[in-house]
Structure 1
């Protein structure tokens, strides 16, 4: 025995010679908990289930409200999609109007450049009435 030995250090236990129950058979996935199924929570008369990252009420007074909220969210999404489509159509119509206005102005400028300054426009061959 050493003079400076640590009296609080313990020796390592010897390995077990008797196997634990269930260690000699194959592991079954159900035993390991790989298929746990949906997580359910029950508080009083309210039962909820965890689906896709959110708690969904299955029974109780809140389940009807949740279903109505889900329908309203779907309706909102549909209206937002329709609104985006209408904005796109409006932009296209505005572009078409701008293009036609520009073409019309170009045609007016071309007409003004081709007609002589002293003529009266489209009716230059018609004689004027004298008073």
Structure 2
């Protein structure tokens, strides 16, 4: 599973962290950005800490063709045409507000929506 956004500093980091937290080692999780930032958004780190997930050691990573090839499902979050497309992969586009430059009060609802979508996705991928 690969989560992709522009800066890999907010949405994709939160989604990857939620899926890792909820799925454990049952799903291999990656995240990347088409134009990665230098650091993860501090408001995203704070919002995730409030949810009991530590993002403080994460760093934005650049999107590579290899990461896409190694993933069965690619979820994009506003990276547009910069995401490479390969046959045989499942692509989903999650339209979410960009937390860049936002305070934690604005990031919390984005975090909550990401968690809801990740939980729904996990229920589809790993039914009980």
Which structure would you say has the larger Rg? 1
Q: Which has the higher contact order (CA 8 A, sep 6+)?
A: 2
TM-score category, normalised to shorter length: under 0.3
For normalisation by structure 2, the TM-score amounts to: 0.19
For normalisation by structure 1, the TM-score amounts to: 0.18
